[in-house]
Amino acid sequence: MAGSDTTVDAVAPPDTVKILIAGGFGVGKTTMVGSVSEIAPLRTEEPLTTAGLGIDDLDGIEQKRATTVALDFGRITISQELVLYLFGTPGQQRFWFMWNDLAIGALGAVVLVDVRRPESSFAAIDFFERREIPFVVGVNGFHGEHPYPAEEIRDSLALPEHVRVLLCDARERESCRDVLIALIDQLIADARKVS
């Protein structure tokens, strides 16, 4: 139609950032994705069965009844311009082969650590260090307890100074948000160093 203004303001799609939530078996990855996601998270949990006896190490997590067999997925909209996609990795060693595929395109990661079983997160730390994927460590305080300060945990995990160690509770949205903010801050600082 001549003379009419039919121009529609085009809204650009938001930038998306892929973040992995990783760590050992039973450290709280599924809980973290679920507590911070703005959507109902996609979960691929299955009941633990007798087939895992002798394979899955339940020391310290005897009450665990289900496990992630593929991934968890959640989303957080930061602004109209930025959306975080969260991918929780499976923790059992027999599912680690999936980590390589999940890591494709990831800008960073949160490695969750259970101080009752810190050795369960060594493989996750090694995975991201070897691939030079930036990460922060979230020390999940089960039952709200943090018996060790962050610096003592850093020393016990032999982490370099540039890796942030934060005490958190995977059940609490604000606590998980703070860990993710620390990771985003780290990614921004790293990008500025390169520019």
Digit-coded pLDDT (tens) for 114-148: 988 888 899 999 999 999 999 999 999 877 788 88
Q: Which among 49, 28, 42, 186 has a CA at the least distance from the CA of 113?
A: 28
Q: What is the predicted pLDDT for the residue at 14?
A: 81
**Mean pLDDT over the full length of the chain:** 85
Q: What is the predicted pLDDT for the residue at 107?
A: 95
Q: What is the predicted pLDDT for the residue at 134?
A: 96
Burial of 69 (0-12, 13-18, 19+ CB in 10 A): middle
Asked whether residue 163 carries a pLDDT value surpassing 90, the answer given is: yes
Assigned token pair, 56: 């899955």
Contact 19, 103 (CB under 8 A): no
Residue with tokens 């958190």: 168
How many CA atoms within 13 Å lie on the side-chain side of 34? 12
Check residues 15 and 1 and name the one with the higher pLDDT: 15
- The pLDDT confidence band at residue 98, using thresholds 50, 70 and 90, is confident
85 CB-near residues (< 8 Å, 6+ apart): 16, 17, 18, 19, 73, 74, 75
- Mean pLDDT, range 168-195, rounded to an integer: 91
Asked whether residue 48 carries a pLDDT value surpassing 70, the answer given is: no
Its pTM stands at 0.84
- The pLDDT confidence band at residue 64, using thresholds 50, 70 and 90, is low
The CB density around residue 84, as the number of other CB atoms within 10 Å, is: 21
Mapped onto helix, strand or coil, the DSSP state of residue 106 is strand
Burial of 46 (0-12, 13-18, 19+ CB in 10 A): exposed
